Amino acid sequence: MRVRLPKVQGRTIEAVLVNTAGGIACGDRFAVEIEAQAGTVLTVATSAAEKVYRSDGPTAGLSVNLAVHAGSQLEWLPQETILFNQARLARRLDADIAEDAHLTVFEAVVFGRAAHAENMSSGFFEDRWRIRRGGRLAYADTLRLKGPIAHLLQKPSVAKGARALATLIHIAPDAEARLETARECLSSTNGCDAAASAWNGILAVRFCAASIEALRACACPFLLAFRGEPLPRVWLS
């Protein structure tokens, strides 16, 4: 992996992660550690959608560890992860943030390659999030899909046929107060189901769409309006 630091206006530092391997193959292990030191403003994105190739057995692993110190702001905004048929991926995100810090995380996943009319007839995907604030567990979420994933996604209690899912978590002192703003930013969902909720200093937004194009058509305007900042340039290329 490599990191690029493009020039940006203002006080924000922007970093772009590049996977020079071109994707994640069976049994690969990737680990990312990002630290926003006190008083910094940092946005981290990825250069392109991350592809997870089919596996003949071993499960690939991707772990992200975020540390957000006092008075700092960190945005983790990777582009979507695309799971090929028979892909196996265990993804983990752990974050430790200070009480007055700001953390925004957006992760999207696509099941199967639409351009190939591909469904995930089999595979494995686990997405585990743990966020601690001031040393205490503030947010825990785990999604686990195993076996005939395309069939599981058809269930109303899972995704009602959607193939692209995303979650945004925003933790900040004013997170709950921004709930109505977030819902206003979702007023035009462009064929994507989306909803926002807030509790205990956390704002959560879920996105669910039939395609990544429909999800992006909803999520990109939302991120632009909610953050009040341009998206990382790589998102537009």
Mean pLDDT of the chain: 93
**What predicted TM-score, i.e. pTM, was given to this entire model?**
0.94
The number of beta carbons lying within 10 Å of the beta carbon of residue 163 is: 25
Q: How confident is the model at residue 20 (pLDDT cuts 50, 70, 90)?
A: confident
How far apart are alpha carbons 64 and 94 in whole angstroms?
6
**Cα-based distances in Å from 201 to 78, 132, 138, 159:** 23, 12, 9, 27
Structure tokens at 178: 């921004």
Phi, psi for 8 (deg, rounded to 5): -135, 160
* Mean pLDDT, residues 50-74 taken together: 95
pLDDT at 107: 97
With a CB cutoff of 8 Å and minimum separation 6, the contacts of 206 are 165, 166, 167, 168, 194, 195
The alpha carbons of the chain give a radius of gyration, in whole angstroms, of 17
Q: What is the pLDDT of residues 96-142, one digit of tens each?
A: 999 999 999 999 999 998 777 788 899 999 999 999 999 999 999 99
Answer for the pair 127, 169: CB distance below 8 angstroms, yes or no.
no
Residue 206 CA to residue 204 CA, distance in Å, equals 7
Confidence of residue 191 (pLDDT cuts 50, 70, 90): confident
Neighbours of 107 (CB within 10 A): 20
Domain boundaries, the chain: 2-236
Cα–Cα dist 170/199, whole Å: 11
Contact 168, 178 (CB under 8 A): no
**Nearest of 14, 17, 151 to residue 85 by alpha carbon:** 151
Its sign, for the CA torsion 53, 58, 59, 61, is: negative
Average pLDDT over residues 21-42: 94
